[in-house]
A and B are shown apart, each in its own frame.
Chain A
Amino acid sequence: MSSVLKVSDVCKTFTQGDQEVKAVDGSSMTVDKGEFVSITGKSGSGKSTLLGLLGALDYPTSGSIDIDGQDITKLSERKLTNYRRQKVGFVFQNYNLVPNLSALENVMLPMEFAGTPKKERTKKAEELLRSVGIEADKQHRRPNKMSGGEQQRVSVARALANNPKIILADEPTGNLDSENGQKVFDLLHGLTRNHETTVVVVTHDLDIAGKTDRTYNLKDGKIKQR
């Protein structure tokens, strides 16, 4: 199986007052296409920081991140925007849906940024929402009229909008009860199996981590495969 993601000796340092804090300290990892990978670790271990680096939300202090054969640490800001638009999809712990847009409009948003025509993006958003279990009667609801599980499924649909190669999920079940958490997990798991989409999920839930193809553990900024 070919690797879609290769992280080599990545460091991320923050300055807090007079002190330098190494959130990620020389981490390296590889993820294959269609693989479901989890990153575990205690709170403050640097999991979310690493996920942000993989999603080009921030630049690493050193090291390289190759995604689909391209080192994203060398890309300009403009190219990084395109990378985020085309290659990755994000699922956040707090769902992060735009509150005054409906579920459908939220899913259409990444497609609008990618320049997809309105008719096409409406049709695709409806399909995606149906595929995650949000039927037509709920597609025009605003996030505050939906349950946490529903919001997270909308968030997954939004992440899939531009057919990304990688889905990066930050504690996707963290705010959900076990039933809804399982649904979202199954959804992400299904993506890897049915669409060969690579999923990297950050979690502190060892049950979930145990069900993924590969698990990395992050401790004090250093990563190890379990």
Chain B
Amino acid sequence: MNSISRGLRNAFRNPTRTISIVLILALSIGLIIAMLAARQAVDAKIQNVKGSVGNTVSISPAGVRGFEGGGTALTDAQLAKVSDLAHVTGVTETLNDRLTTSTTNLQSGINPGELGMRRSGQTGVGTPPSLNENSDGSNSGTNQQTFTMPVEITGVSDASDASTFGGSKVTWKSGAAFDASKDENVAVVGTKIASKNNLSVGSTFTAYDTSIKVVGIYDAGTDFANNGVFVPLATLQKLSDQSGQITSATATVDSLDNLSGVTSEIKSTLGSSADVTSSQDTANQLVQPLESVKSIALFSLIGAAIAGAVIILLTMLMIVRERRREIGVMKAIGASKATIIRQFVAESVTLMVLGLVVGLGLGVLAATPLTNMLVDNSTSSSSSQGASGPGQGGSGFRLGGLRIARTAARESNENVQASVGIDTIGYGLLAALLIAAIGSAVPAYFITTIKPAEAMRNE
């Protein structure tokens, strides 16, 4: 037997105390591992969101959000200046309009429902609903279905990327996109509106008294997005008599490093006529809950590590204090300080390793639920704050990259999966050893101060 094996055996000298200490340490180490895993998972998601939103700048007329607010449309000339800015690799432009029963034969694929009926009176589109009046003069509260949802039509300057039609999940059900550089009377429509109006590739519909041919049908995964109609930008400008007008644009920047500078230049170029938002600004804003989770995880991790160090420190101090005479006897019969310190460090490391093993199990079990709980709390808290803020809860109006960024961020927030990998275990082991070292350092000092004469003390 040597000092290491004696230390190992001493760890089990008082089984009840050992179990208690190991359990407390396990909780501390489990929390460290769970928080490490949470931090890594959240960090990966943040990078993923920031990476997925790309290097884009969203531009919309000042004062506009969806079909709410006022403002004046931007012009091709203004956006040409944006295209000419350094580091801008391209500008995609869109023009939005609403088709009503007087301008199209299309019917919306979405029924007004309770929400649509309520909002129809606020937007002034269609015939406002009226209430059935009872014989006693009171209202029954049931709406008459005289209101139909408007059809949103969007002109786009670039149809090469399917995400233009409603996000990253767009798939083609039939046909394909049009050539957006021409002003042909062609359109792609979503599955919802196509189904409602019996449209297929090759069939036509009427808008602005013009026959428009369907060349593609897409599925974007949601009823709202699948209710859209897209035509080339020039076509919509011509048909809707909005020549040269733009309601939103997305500028693509050559690198993330230049995004901030270009955003400032665009703001400067367009002045007060436009609202300019960088995709990274949006991403940063949207991943804010995840950043909070990351901070919470870091502080919890540090707190758990300190708690672990304090636990092992106090435990070892208590043990050293209890065994003062034994240490004195060992010194009296020829043990060096180093031998005794080695024995006590071995004891403290044994307790830590036991705590690590149990804590690892706890950490693996707790990592995902804890991460989800933190993310859920942060996200819901952030959502409730955001919903009450000005300009939130917008309609289906497209803001190009901004909308994609929001969708990506929202999806990412919902899908944070924490897993305990080899690197997490490695960090946990490192933390445990560090805690054991810190926890043993002070007791080791006390061991050096105990005199061998302690052996002569008769208690």
Residues of A whose CB lies within 8 Å of any CB of B are 48, 51-52, 55-58, 78, 81-82, 84-86, 89-90, 92-94, 96, 98-101, 105, 108-110, 112-114, 158, 162, 170
CA distance in complex: A105, B339 (Å) = 16
Residues of B contacting A: mostly: helix
A174 CB, nearest partner CB in chain B, Å: 9
User: Of A51, A52, A85, A100, which one neighbours B10 at CB under 8 angstroms?
Assistant: A100
CA distance in complex: A89, B329 (Å) = 11
B458 & A94 in contact (Cβ 8 Å cutoff): yes
B451 & A110 in contact (Cβ 8 Å cutoff): no
B455 & A90 in contact (Cβ 8 Å cutoff): yes
A135 CB, nearest partner CB in chain B, Å: 21
Q: Which residues of B contact A57 (CB under 8 A)?
A: 328, 331-332, 451-453, 455-456
CA distance in complex: A101, B1 (Å) = 10
If the complex has contacts A113-B334, A114-B334, are A84 and B452 also in contact, measured as CB distance less than 8 A?
Answer: yes
CA distance in complex: A22, B209 (Å) = 120
Q: Which residues of A contact B10 (CB under 8 A)?
A: 100
Query: Assuming A86-B334, A108-B1, A113-B339, what are 16 further A-B pairs, CB within 8 angstroms?
Result: A52-B456, A55-B332, A57-B453, A58-B451, A81-B334, A81-B335, A84-B334, A85-B334, A90-B333, A90-B455, A94-B458, A96-B326, A101-B6, A109-B335, A110-B334, A162-B334
If the complex has contacts A98-B329, A100-B10, A100-B13, are A51 and B456 also in contact, measured as CB distance less than 8 A?
Answer: yes
Report the 3 A-B pairs with minimum CB-CB distance, sorted nearest first.
A85-B334, A113-B334, A57-B453
Q: What would be 18 A-B contacts, judged by CB atoms less than 8 Å apart?
A: A48-B458, A57-B328, A57-B331, A58-B452, A81-B331, A81-B334, A84-B452, A85-B333, A90-B329, A90-B332, A94-B459, A109-B335, A112-B1, A112-B2, A113-B333, A113-B339, A114-B334, A162-B334
User: Of A48, A92, A112, which one neighbours B329 at CB under 8 angstroms?
Assistant: A92
CA distance in complex: A145, B280 (Å) = 74
Q: From B452, which residue of chain A is reached at the shortest CB distance?
A: A57
Q: Which residues of B contact A89 (CB under 8 A)?
A: 333
Q: Which residues in chain B, 310-349, are within 8 Å of chain A measured between CB atoms?
A: 325-326, 328-336, 339
B455 & A105 in contact (Cβ 8 Å cutoff): no
B453 & A52 in contact (Cβ 8 Å cutoff): yes
Q: From B9, which residue of chain A is reached at the shortest CB distance?
A: A100
User: Of A101, A105, A113, A170, which one neighbours B336 at CB under 8 angstroms?
Assistant: A113
A112 CB, nearest partner CB in chain B, Å: 7
Q: Which residues of A contact B334 (CB under 8 A)?
A: 81-82, 84-86, 110, 113-114, 162
Q: From A80, which residue of chain B is reached at the shortest CB distance?
A: B452
B interface bracket (residues with beta carbon within 8 Å of A): 20 to 34
Q: Which residues in chain B, 1-23, are within 8 Å of chain A measured between CB atoms?
A: 1-2, 6, 9-10, 13
A12 CB, nearest partner CB in chain B, Å: 10
CA distance in complex: A45, B10 (Å) = 37
Q: Which residues of B contact A58 (CB under 8 A)?
A: 451-453
CA distance in complex: A114, B456 (Å) = 22
Q: Which residues of B contact A112 (CB under 8 A)?
A: 1-2
Q: Which residues of A contact B459 (CB under 8 A)?
A: 94
CA distance in complex: A78, B456 (Å) = 20
Residues of B whose CB lies within 8 Å of any CB of A are 1-2, 6, 9-10, 13, 325-326, 328-336, 339, 451-453, 455-456, 458-459
A96 & B331 in contact (Cβ 8 Å cutoff): no
If the complex has contacts A57-B451, A98-B326, A105-B1, are A110 and B333 also in contact, measured as CB distance less than 8 A?
Answer: yes
A92 & B456 in contact (Cβ 8 Å cutoff): yes
Q: From B14, which residue of chain A is reached at the shortest CB distance?
A: A100
CA distance in complex: A105, B3 (Å) = 12
A216 CB, nearest partner CB in chain B, Å: 18
Most chain A CB inside 10 Å of its own CB: which residue of B330, B332, B333: B333
Q: From A112, which residue of chain B is reached at the shortest CB distance?
A: B2
A201 CB, nearest partner CB in chain B, Å: 14
A81 & B451 in contact (Cβ 8 Å cutoff): no
If the complex has contacts A110-B334, A113-B336, are A48 and B1 also in contact, measured as CB distance less than 8 A?
Answer: no
A109 & B455 in contact (Cβ 8 Å cutoff): no
CA distance in complex: A203, B396 (Å) = 100
CA distance in complex: A52, B332 (Å) = 9
Q: Which residues of A contact B333 (CB under 8 A)?
A: 84-85, 89-90, 109-110, 113, 158
CA distance in complex: A118, B331 (Å) = 20
If the complex has contacts A96-B325, A98-B329, A100-B10, are A113 and B335 also in contact, measured as CB distance less than 8 A?
Answer: yes
Q: Which residues of B contact A85 (CB under 8 A)?
A: 333-334
If the complex has contacts A105-B1, A112-B2, are A81 and B336 also in contact, measured as CB distance less than 8 A?
Answer: yes
Q: Which residues of A contact B458 (CB under 8 A)?
A: 48, 93-94
CA distance in complex: A170, B456 (Å) = 8
Q: From A58, which residue of chain B is reached at the shortest CB distance?
A: B453
A144 CB, nearest partner CB in chain B, Å: 12
Q: Which residues of B contact A109 (CB under 8 A)?
A: 330, 333, 335
User: Of B2, B6, B332, which one neighbours A84 at CB under 8 angstroms?
Assistant: B332
Q: From A100, which residue of chain B is reached at the shortest CB distance?
A: B13
A92 & B1 in contact (Cβ 8 Å cutoff): no
CA distance in complex: A109, B1 (Å) = 9
CA distance in complex: A84, B13 (Å) = 28
CA distance in complex: A112, B328 (Å) = 17
CA distance in complex: A58, B452 (Å) = 7
CA distance in complex: A108, B2 (Å) = 10
CA distance in complex: A114, B335 (Å) = 8
CA distance in complex: A90, B326 (Å) = 14
Q: Which residues of B contact A105 (CB under 8 A)?
A: 1
Q: Which residues of B contact A93 (CB under 8 A)?
A: 458
Q: From B325, which residue of chain A is reached at the shortest CB distance?
A: A96
CA distance in complex: A57, B10 (Å) = 25
CA distance in complex: A81, B448 (Å) = 13
CA distance in complex: A113, B329 (Å) = 13
Q: From A114, which residue of chain B is reached at the shortest CB distance?
A: B334
Q: From B334, which residue of chain A is reached at the shortest CB distance?
A: A85
B7 CB, nearest partner CB in chain A, Å: 11
